[in-house]
Structure 1
Amino acid sequence: MIIYLLWLLAVTSFNFSTSTITVSKAEPQGNFLYSEIPSIKMPLNEIKTLLQKEGNSLQPAVIDKVITTIQCANAYQVDRNNILTIIDYSMPSNQKRLWVFDLDKKELLFHTYVSHGIKSGTLLTDKFSNKFDSKASSIGVYKTEQSYYGREGLSLRLVGLDTKFNDNAFNRYIVMHGGWYMDEQFIKRYGRPGRSWGCPALPLPIKKQIIDTIKDNSLLVIYYPSDEWFNKSKFLNCSKQKSDQVVINRLSETQAPVDDEIREDILFVDLNKNNSREEHEPIITMSADAYERIFHSQPPLSRMLRRQINNAEYIALSKEEFNKLVLQGNREGLGEIHFVIPVIIMEHGYYETQMQIVNMGKIKEVQPNSDTSRITQEPAKSYRIDFESKPALNLKTTNRFIRWLGL
Structure 2
Amino acid sequence: MINILLSLIAATSLGLSSNYWNSPDIKKSPEKADWYSEIPSVYPQIDTQALRRMLKQQAPTMSDAVINKVVTAVKCSSIYAVDNNNILSVIDYSLPSNQKRLWIFDLKNSKLLFHTYVSHGIKSGTFLTRYFSNKYNSKASSIGVYKTEKAYYGREGLSLRLAGLERQFNDNAMNRSIVMHGGWYMDEQFIKHYGRPGRSWGCPAVPLDLYQGIINTIKDNSLLIVYYPSDEWFGKSRFLTCDKNKNQMTSLADVKPVADEQEHRDDVFFAQVHKGGEDKPILVMPAPQYEAFFQSQAPLGRMLRRRINQQEYIALNTKELERLSQQKSQDAFQSVYFVIPTLRQVRGYYETEMKIINLGVITEINPSVSPMTKVKEYNVRFNSTASIRLQSTDRFIRWLGL
TM-score by length of 1: 0.86
CA contact (8 A) 2:370 2:376 kept: no
1:339 aligns with 2:330: no
The 1:31/1:294 distance shift into structure 2, 3 A limit, reads farther
The equivalent of 2:348 in structure 1 is 349
Counterpart-to-counterpart distance in 1, 2:341 and 2:282? 10
The equivalent of 1:264 in structure 2 is 266
The equivalent of 2:380 in structure 1 is 385
Counterpart-to-counterpart distance in 1, 2:330 and 2:232? 56
1:402 aligns with 2:365: no
The equivalent of 1:254 in structure 2 is 255
Counterpart-to-counterpart distance in 2, 1:43 and 1:156? 29
Q: How many residues align?
A: 369
The equivalent of 2:32 in structure 1 is none
Give CA-to-partner distance per residue, 1:74-94, whole Å, 9 cap, x none. Answer: 110101000000000000000
Counterpart-to-counterpart distance in 2, 1:66 and 1:74? 12
The equivalent of 2:290 in structure 1 is 291
Q: How does 1:26-105 map to 2 (within 5 A)?
A: 28=19, 43-105=47-109
Q: Secondary structure at the match of 1:305?
A: coil
The equivalent of 2:27 in structure 1 is none
The 1:32/1:160 distance shift into structure 2, 3 A limit, reads farther
1:366 Cα offset (Å) = 2.2
Q: How does 1:172-187 map to 2 (within 5 A)?
A: 172-187=176-191
Q: How does 1:5-404 map to 2 (within 5 A)?
A: 28=19, 43-245=47-249, 247-248=250-251, 251-256=252-257, 260-272=262-274, 278-370=277-369, 381-404=376-399
Q: Secondary structure at the match of 2:209?
A: helix
Q: Secondary structure at the match of 2:309?
A: coil
1:272 Cα offset (Å) = 3.9
CA contact (8 A) 1:128 1:257 kept: no
CA contact (8 A) 1:130 1:165 kept: yes
The 1:120/1:305 distance shift into structure 2, 3 A limit, reads same
CA contact (8 A) 2:158 2:181 kept: yes
1:42 Cα offset (Å) = 5.5
Residue 155 of structure 2 aligns with an amino acid whose one-letter code is R
The 1:167/1:29 distance shift into structure 2, 3 A limit, reads farther
Residue 254 of structure 1 aligns with an amino acid whose one-letter code is V
1:26 Cα offset (Å) = 5.3
Counterpart-to-counterpart distance in 2, 1:151 and 1:60? 38
The 1:32/1:181 distance shift into structure 2, 3 A limit, reads farther
The 1:260/1:29 distance shift into structure 2, 3 A limit, reads farther
CA contact (8 A) 2:267 2:392 kept: yes
Q: Gapped runs of 5+ residues in structure 1?
A: 1-21, 34-38, 373-378
Counterpart-to-counterpart distance in 2, 1:346 and 1:326? 39
Residue 252 of structure 1 aligns with an amino acid whose one-letter code is A
CA contact (8 A) 1:120 1:257 kept: no
Provide the alpha-carbon RMSD of the alignment. Answer: 2.2
1:193 Cα offset (Å) = 0.2
Give CA-to-partner distance per residue, 1:46-96, whole Å, 9 cap, x none. Answer: 111100100131101100000000111111010100000000000000000
1:360 Cα offset (Å) = 1.8
Give CA-to-partner distance per residue, 1:186-238, whole Å, 9 cap, x none. Answer: 00000000000000000000100000000000000000000000001000011
When structure 1 is superposed on structure 2, of 391-400 and 101-110 the one drifting more is 391-400
Residue 312 of structure 2 aligns with an amino acid whose one-letter code is E
The 1:143/1:197 distance shift into structure 2, 3 A limit, reads same
CA contact (8 A) 1:129 1:256 kept: no
Q: Secondary structure at the match of 2:180?
A: strand
1:367 Cα offset (Å) = 2.2
Structure whose CA Rg is larger: 1
1:380 Cα offset (Å) = 6.9
Counterpart-to-counterpart distance in 1, 2:66 and 2:15? 40
Residue 102 of structure 1 aligns with an amino acid whose one-letter code is D
Counterpart-to-counterpart distance in 2, 1:42 and 1:87? 21
Give CA-to-partner distance per residue, 1:112-168, whole Å, 9 cap, x none. Answer: 000000000111001000000000000000000000001111000000001110011
TM-score by length of 2: 0.87
Q: Gapped runs of 5+ residues in structure 2?
A: 1-12, 25-42
Runs (4 or more) in structure 1 with deviation over 3 Å come to 22-27, 29-33, 39-42, 256-259
